Amino acid sequence: MDIRILGSGNAGQVPVWGCHCVACERAKQDVSFRRGPCSLEIRTERGVTLIDAGFTDLAERYEFDEIQRIVLTHFHMDHVQGLFHLRWSERPEKIPVFRPDDEKGTDDLYKHSGVLDFQTPFVPFNKVEFDDFSITPLPLFHSKITLGYLIEKNNFTLAYLTDTVGLPDTTHTFLANRALDCLILDCSEPPMPSAPRNHNDINLALWVYNTLKPKSMILTHISHRLDCWLIENEASLPDGIIIARDGMSVA
């Protein structure tokens, strides 16, 4: 199972259009510092599973037969906008799309789904066994109904938790009873005097790291504001915390 971070940015991505901060200027000069829409690729011998579909060029990145399934964390546009192009394929086959229980979805995706076969919504904490790995949906705190996922195969355990501000007690308790090889966590903001509304800051991310104690933790859904802070302060973070980069291999 090969796991790769497709995108590590927040909705504004990096560089932010029209911004001249040090992080955005760096990303303009060096494409390795660019951040696309937050998403994950899981590749096994059976094909590719995408967690979220924020990139609008997915049809150029993947052949139709490569994508085995798509798993959505939630229906904010920066996590689903790539589906609006994929759905118009005229192939007779369908691509299963797994989702949280959000009746509204986004725009007309449900009404005009095309090749996207939206599955019965996940039930939180009910493990689903795919042919190549298992996945357990976990409730998160966000402005839309949002799920994180515990991904397990053989002896490897990964928690993917974006978008969220802190963790619900039920999710935190569930994960506290697991030995996590890796935790990929939403962290959009530098340290703030009070918690942000929809996303973690460094203070909340450190709390999650210190209480769940994963072997490693990767911060994703990163804004240009956090990148500016990291330029000066990344060395102060614990050794087990890694800053996501687009295309980075996780396992």
CA distance 69 to 55: 16
Mean pLDDT of the chain: 97
Confidence of residue 197 (pLDDT cuts 50, 70, 90): confident
Q: Which residues pair with 67 in a beta bridge?
A: 48
Please report the pLDDT score of residue 169 as a whole number: 97
The whole-number average pLDDT for the span 27-39 is 98
CA distance 88 to 231: 42
Q: Which residues pair with 44 in a beta bridge?
A: 47
Q: For residue 231, give every residue at least 6 positions away whose Cβ sits within 8 Å of its Cβ, in sequence order, or none.
A: 22, 23, 26
Q: Which two tokens stand for residue 246?
A: 């687009």
CA distance 224 to 229: 9
**Interaxial angle between packed helices 169-176 and 202-212, expressed in degrees from 0 to 180 and rounded to the nearest 10:** 40
Q: Side-chain half-sphere of 59: how many Cα atoms within 13 Å?
A: 11
Express each pLDDT in 87-114 by its tens digit.
999 999 999 999 999 999 999 999 999 9
Please report the pLDDT score of residue 251 as a whole number: 81
Domain 2-243, what fold? Metallo-beta-lactamase; Chain A (3.60.15)
The pTM of this model reads 0.96
Are residues 229 and 202 in contact, defined by beta-carbon separation less than 8 angstroms? yes
Express each pLDDT in 1-26 by its tens digit.
999 999 999 999 999 999 999 999 99
